[in-house]
């Protein structure tokens, strides 16, 4: 379970997030929506402990990210928007490095690697330097790194950016399967993605949580039952 | 924690060789070392049983080499956008700091090891004091660690490679040349305790004390405690960067 209580964060005079509250349970794929500057990335960074909150708390499976960071960091994996990888490492070396940081045994690493290579179609590039990869492959390698340890909570910032339609389809299918006994959070601008993947939507605007609902409920706000129109109507 | 440190050390040590910077630094260090030994140190003029002509300028060399090593360790993480990824892995900030520090320090060990042929060649012609030379090498390694500690700490505060390098060299020079005893005398401040404190944190006094073959526990303490303090600041900087 992921619990966010009274979370606020300011950067100087700018209030990036103001009193955010929600609770996520297993089996949910939550889409974090909002226009640019709404506070999505700040929220993700607070959830993952990259930022420390001004007030409020984040608990991941009972571990507070601020006071028990080591236990909390074992609960989730995060794929940042930049999809940055170490250019000097091959895909295999990168995944091995991440596995070692997660203290996976060699057998667990091999098992995860074989599974993820098949799921994310990384077989052709496994010995290629990450700097030579296309954007889509870089994204998939980043996601593979996050999935290596089989985290209970998976946090993805713009997961399908750079992927072709086939890859998008297979990743969405994979995330749906993966979320059956886990929590998945995706931050995205793409409504098609929300409609195809998410079963819950958290909408942020100007640092405030303005809707915490289901995609179907959100659609009803628009006369045409359209997510994009509903998004515009709420955030404009 | 040990496994985490070794994982980061291995990765960062190998990364140094990726950009060819490591090869460049090896060449620069060896050339400057030999120039300093034969021309600055007067290799052929002085008694070289303890290879003092080689060791005399080592602090100055590590003052420019260590920042070049350390500037990449943190600034590259920021440049490639991997810092966010690293900070969300289940590793303690201290393990990351130590892993990166030991990667830079291991490289300095490699640099020093590459100068062993000078020792062996010298011992072929004259009877060298091998124990004294070994102590001097250990001292040099401590000096390299001292400057790596400062540089890693400064690098973690900086976002650019150049600013990290310039600031690190500046702080290395200031801390090495800092002579509080002299300053106290200039400002008319006196007192036995102050004088003792000033002497105990004087880099040159410790280094040249060891070069004279008088390695004391206070010398080791000076370098050891300094490295710990710089790494502690480095850990604070990483936490600060978390925002």
DSSP A177-220: HHGGGSEEEEE-S-HHHHHHH-SEEEEEETTEEEEEE-HHHHHT
Minimum distance, in Å, between the CA of residue A84 and any CA atom of chain B: 5
Is B90:B4 a contact under the CB 8 Å cutoff?
no
So what's the pLDDT on residue B242? 64
Phi-psi region of A162 (alpha: psi -120 to 50; beta: other; left: phi over 0): left
User: Are residues A157 and A229 both part of a single domain?
Assistant: yes
C-alpha–C-alpha distance, residues B121 and A235, integer Å: 76
Question: Structure tokens of A188?
Answer: 């995205």
Is A86 in Cβ contact with B15 (below 8 Å)? yes
Q: Distance, in angstroms, between A196 CA and closest chain B CA?
A: 27
| Chain A residues with CB-CB distance to B235 below 8 A | none
The whole-model pTM stands at 0.87
The alpha-carbon radius of gyration of chain A (Å, integer) is 18
Give residue B55's pLDDT: 92
**Residues linked to residue A30 through DSSP beta bridges, in sequence order:** A185, A200
Token pair of B53 as six digits: 């002509």
Question: Best residue in A70, A96, A101 to probe B by mutation, most B CBs within 10 Å?
Answer: A101
Pairwise CA distance, residues B180 & A236, whole Å? 63
> How far apart (Å, rounded) are the C-alpha atoms in residues A113 and B128?
55
- How many Å lie between the alpha carbon of A125 and the closest alpha carbon of chain B? 19
- pLDDT surpasses 80 at A204: yes
Statement to judge: residues A42 and A144 lie in one domain:
no
Which residues in chain B are closer than 8 Å to A50, comparing Cβ atoms?
84, 87-88, 242-243
Nearest to A103 among B3, B84, B243 (CB): B3
CATH (domain of A63): 3.40.50.300
Sign of CA dihedral A59, A60, A61, A67: negative
Q: Where are the domains of chain B?
A: 2-241
Q: Are residues A179 and A131 in the same domain?
A: no
- The per-residue pLDDT string of chain B (243 residues; one tens digit each, 9 = 90 and over) reads 788 899 999 999 988 888 788 899 999 999 999 999 998 888 888 777 888 899 999 999 999 999 999 888 888 888 888 888 888 888 888 999 999 999 999 999 999 999 999 999 998 888 888 999 999 999 999 999 999 999 999 988 887 888 889 999 999 998 888 777 777 777 777 777 777 777 778 888 888 888 887 788 888 899 999 999 999 999 988 877 665
Q: Are B135 and B210 in contact (CB under 8 A)?
A: yes
A96 and A130 in a common domain: yes
The confidence band for A181, taking pLDDT boundaries of 50, 70 and 90, is: confident
Distance in Å, alpha carbon of A81 to nearest chain B alpha carbon: 10
Residue in A closest to B81 by C-alpha: A84
Q: Does B79 touch chain A (CB under 8 A)?
A: no
* Dist CA A1 CA A181 (whole Å): 11
Across the interface, whether the CB atoms of A48 and B88 are under 8 A apart is answered yes
Domain hosting A134: range is 83-150
Would you call A52 and B92 a contact, using CB atoms and an 8 Å cutoff?
no
The answer to whether B151 touches B71, Cβ cutoff 8 Å, is yes
Residue B90 contacts A, CB cutoff 8 Å: yes
Contacts of A101 in chain B (CB under 8 A): 4, 7-8, 89-91
d(CA B240, nearest CA chain A) in Å: 9
Taking residues A119-138, what's their average pLDDT? Answer: 89
Map tokens 């909390």 to a residue. A72
Same domain? For A157 and A71 the reply is yes
Chain A residues in contact with chain B using a Cβ-Cβ cutoff of 8 Å? 45, 48-52, 70, 73-74, 76-78, 80, 82, 84-89, 97-98, 100-103, 145
**Among all residues of chain A, which has the CA nearest to that of B99?**
A101
Instruction: Among A51, A88, A98, select the one facing B18 at the smallest CB separation.
Output: A88
Domain boundary among A150, A183, A208: A150
**A92 lies in the same domain as A115:** yes
In angstroms, the Cα distances linking B235 to A36, A72, B5, B157 are 33, 19, 14, 11
Please compute Rg for chain B using Cα positions: 19
Question: Which residues in B145-173 are b (16+ Cβ under 10 Å) and which e?
Answer: bbbbbbbbbbbbbbeebeebbebbbebbe
pLDDT tier at A221, thresholds 50, 70, 90: confident
Decide if A100 and B3 are in contact by the 8 Å CB cutoff: yes
Q: Are residues A125 and A14 in the same domain?
A: no
A110 and A177: one domain? no
Which of A150, A168, A198 is the C-terminal boundary of a domain?
Answer: A150
Total of domains in chain A: 2
Of A50, A82, A103, the CB nearest to B81: A82
Assign residue B104 a region (left: φ > 0; alpha: ψ between -120 and 50; beta: otherwise).
alpha
Q: Which of B11, B81, B90 lies closest to A73 in CB terms?
A: B90
Is A193 found in the same domain as A224?
Answer: yes
The domain boundary, picked from A150, A171, A206, lies at A150
Q: Which two tokens stand for residue A144?
A: 């593979």
Pairwise CB contact (< 8 Å): A70 & B90: yes
Give the ipTM: 0.84
CB under 8 Å to B98, separation ≥6 — which residues?
Answer: B5, B8, B231
The predicted structure's pLDDT at residue B49: 84
* Cβ burial A2-32 (10 Å sphere, 16+ → b, else e): bbbeebbbeeeeebbbbebeeebeeebbbbb
């Amino acid at each position: 379970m992921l619990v966010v209580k009274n979370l606020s964060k300011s950067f100087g005079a700018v209030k990036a997030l103001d009193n955010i509250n929600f609770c996520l349970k297993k089996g949910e794929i939550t889409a974090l929506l909002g226009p640019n500057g709404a506070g999505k990335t700040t929220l993700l960074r607070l959830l993952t402990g990259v930022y420390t909150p001004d007030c409020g708390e984040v608990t991941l499976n009972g571990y507070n990210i601020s006071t028990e960071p080591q236990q909390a960091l074992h609960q989730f994996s995060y794929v940042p928007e930049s999809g940055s990888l170490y250019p000097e490492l091959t895909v295999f070396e990168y995944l091995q490095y991440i596995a070692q940081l997660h203290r996976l045994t060699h057998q667990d690493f091999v098992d995860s690697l074989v599974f993820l290579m098949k799921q994310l179609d990384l077989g052709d590039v496994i010995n290629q330097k990450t700097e030579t990869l296309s954007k889509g492959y870089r994204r998939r390698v980043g996601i593979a790194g996050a999935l290596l340890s089989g985290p209970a909570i998976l946090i993805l910032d713009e997961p399908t950016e750079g992927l072709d339609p086939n890859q998008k389809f297979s990743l969405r299918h994979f995330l749906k399967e993966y979320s059956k006994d886990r929590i998945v959070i995706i931050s995205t601008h793409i409504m098609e993605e929300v409609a195809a993947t998410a079963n819950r939507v958290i909408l942020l605007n100007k640092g405030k949580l303005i809707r915490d609902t289901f995609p179907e409920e959100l659609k009803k706000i628009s006369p045409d039952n359209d997510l994009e129109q509903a998004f515009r109507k709420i955030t404009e | 924690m040990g496994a985490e440190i070794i994982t980061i050390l291995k990765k960062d040590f190998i990364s140094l060789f990726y950009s060819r910077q490591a090869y460049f630094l090896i060449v620069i260090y060896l050339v400057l070392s030999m120039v300093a030994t034969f021309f600055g140190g007067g290799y052929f003029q002085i008694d070289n049983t303890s290879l003092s002509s080689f060791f005399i300028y080592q602090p100055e060399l590590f003052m420019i080499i260590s920042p070049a090593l350390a500037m990449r360790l943190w600034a590259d993480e920021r440049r490639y956008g991997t810092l966010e990824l690293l900070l969300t892995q289940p590793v303690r900030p201290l393990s990351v700091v130590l892993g990166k520090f030991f990667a830079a320090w291991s490289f300095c060990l490699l640099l020093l090891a590459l100068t062993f042929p000078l020792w062996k060649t010298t011992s072929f012609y004259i009877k060298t004091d091998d124990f004294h030379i070994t102590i001097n090498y250990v001292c040099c390694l401590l000096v390299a660690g001292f400057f790596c500690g400062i540089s890693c700490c400064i690098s973690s505060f900086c976002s650019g490679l150049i600013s990290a390098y310039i600031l690190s060299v500046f702080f290395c020079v200031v801390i090495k040349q800092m002579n509080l005893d002299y300053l106290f005398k200039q400002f008319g401040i006196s007192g036995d305790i102050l004088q003792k404190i000033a002497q105990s944190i004087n880099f040159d006094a410790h280094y040249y004390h060891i070069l004279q073959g008088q390695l004391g526990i206070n010398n080791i303490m000076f370098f050891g405690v300094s490295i710990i303090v710089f790494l502690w600041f480095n850990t604070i900087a990483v936490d600060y960067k978390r925002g």
